[in-house]
Amino acid sequence: MYSLDRRLSFWSALAAAGPEHAYWVGRLTLCGSPEDIARYDAAVLGHARDAAPKGTPWQVRRLPERSLFRATMPPSAPATDADPALAVQASDQEVLRHRDLATLSPDERTEAQRLLELTARARPMRPGRRFAPAARGSVDRRRTMRAMLRGPDVLLRRARRPRPRRVVLLVDVSGSMSPYADALLRFAHALVRHRPRWTSVYALGTRLTPLGATLRTRDPEAALRLAGQAIPDWRGGTRLAGALSAFVRGDGHRGVARRAVVVVFSDGWETGEPARLGEAVAHLRRLAARVIWVSPHAGRPGFAPSAGGLSAVLPHVDALVAGHTIATLAALVENMEVHRA
């Protein structure tokens, strides 16, 4: 059974490449490992055999990867002898986008860092206090009256000028989240580098640790080393309720969380009372414009928010999404957009 994000990627790619490339589109978007390719080929051959009328020969049309890659290139791009290598590279990147971040090798993490930098391009906006001329919105009475003195009657309109909305990332670095903490902090580093003024990052463990200053370092490896030195409880226990309450009572009430997009990366395992965690998230929701809870287990088949912490926070969050692959983090970036004040 393929995950929802893989199926959505398949239909989007099929619409762009055309049905004649269905085999390679499915192979590039639905397969995440060599074992998946073998199962995919068997499924395609079985479907073609069953669909063929009895007594007629059947075959699966496998177009070369070269033709698929050219179909996805802009018309003005010249074809070169390096096209097959580029196609293989594009295929490897697509497979890497759907690999579980906890299973990446050191070489794959280097490539994943580059993809994360391309993915972390969130730009949530909010209506500002100042107005600007617009095609839609309320009537600008002052400009309308001046225009009427110069010519025919016309209604001029105005709208609030958009302003960047703050993004707050709260990353659980406890022992249960350690396989994903490195990749999530790399994602946070890329987002901080993209929007340094409007992004705040905190580590959640047995206590709350601000990481905004350490993640502003250009080099991701140096930034991760500084973050590791700043976090005293890395891969330790977790007290989500206490850490979140400390954030809400401190920086949250001082303006960091007000009308912001708050993203909590955690599997929801809480050593304390789940009710306290639910109260902290409910308080956070009253301050923020949007609260998104990201669990690395949410994208796996058969997942249910049965952990005590998750069941307590679920009524108070706007979305519970997966965050175990680069593809799911890209979907998270789209989920950050808010269309209210």
For residues 213 and 216, what is the distance between their CA atoms, to the nearest angstrom?
A: 6
- Same domain (yes/no): 56, 134: no
Instruction: State the CATH number of the domain containing residue 284.
Output: 3.40.50.410
- Same domain (yes/no): 286, 325: yes
Single out the residue of 166, 125, 338, 170 nearest to residue 254, CA to CA: 166
Cα dihedral sign, 259-337-4-97: negative
Which tokens belong to 148? Answer: 């009427």
Q: Does residue 85 fall inside a structural domain?
A: yes
- Same domain (yes/no): 50, 178: no
- Same domain (yes/no): 152, 186: no
- Same domain (yes/no): 172, 44: no
For residues 295 and 163, what is the distance between their CA atoms, to the nearest angstrom?
A: 29
- Same domain (yes/no): 203, 301: yes
- Same domain (yes/no): 13, 151: no
Q: Does residue 178 fall inside a structural domain?
A: yes
Chain centroid, CA 327 distance in Å: 7
Residues near 148 by beta carbon (within 8 Å), at least 6 away in sequence: 154
Task: State the pLDDT at residue 68.
Answer: 38
Task: State the pLDDT at residue 247.
Answer: 95
Single out the residue of 13, 41, 179, 37 nearest to residue 95, CA to CA: 37
- Same domain (yes/no): 225, 299: yes
Q: Does residue 155 fall inside a structural domain?
A: yes
- Same domain (yes/no): 317, 231: yes
Q: Is 184 exposed, middle or buried (0-12, 13-18, 19+ CB in 10 A)?
A: buried
Report the domain count for the chain.
3
Q: What is the pLDDT along the chain (341 residues), one digit of tens a residue?
A: 566 667 777 777 787 777 777 888 888 888 777 677 878 887 877 665 555 555 544 444 444 443 333 333 344 444 444 444 444 445 566 778 888 888 888 878 878 888 888 877 777 877 777 888 888 888 888 888 888 888 777 788 888 888 889 999 999 998 888 889 889 999 999 999 888 999 999 999 888 999 988 999 889 889 999 998 999 888 887 788 899 999 999 999 998 999 999 999 998 877 778 889 999 999 999 999 999 999 988 877 777 777 667 888 899 999 999 988 888 998 898 888 765 55
5-10: long-range contacts (C-beta < 8 A, 24 or more apart)?
Answer: 5/98, 5/299, 5/322, 5/325, 5/327, 5/328, 5/331, 6/30, 6/32, 6/98, 6/327, 9/98, 9/327
> Helix, strand, coil proportions of the chain in percent (round to 5)?
50, 15, 35
Which tokens belong to 277? Answer: 């965690």
- What does the DSSP assignment read for 148-186? HHHSS----EEEEEEEEPPEEEEEE-SGGGHHHHHHHHH
Q: Does residue 55 fall inside a structural domain?
A: yes
- Same domain (yes/no): 34, 52: yes
Task: State the pLDDT at residue 283.
Answer: 95
- Show the DSSP H helices in 18-56 as ranges: 22-30, 34-51
H or E element in which residue 138 lies: strand 138-139
For residues 23 and 212, what is the distance between their CA atoms, to the nearest angstrom?
A: 45
- Which of 56, 81, 98 marks a domain boundary? 98
> Are the C-beta atoms of residues 119 and 187 closer than 8 Å to each other?
yes
Task: State the pLDDT at residue 91.
Answer: 59
- Which of 119, 138, 163 marks a domain boundary? 163
List the domain range (segments joined by +) for residue 185. Answer: 165-335
Q: Does residue 276 fall inside a structural domain?
A: yes
For residues 175 and 223, what is the distance between their CA atoms, to the nearest angstrom?
A: 21
229: number of Cβ within 10 Å: 10
Task: State the pLDDT at residue 66.
Answer: 38
Q: Does residue 106 fall inside a structural domain?
A: no
Q: Does residue 16 fall inside a structural domain?
A: yes
- Same domain (yes/no): 242, 320: yes
- Same domain (yes/no): 242, 255: yes
Q: Does residue 118 fall inside a structural domain?
A: no
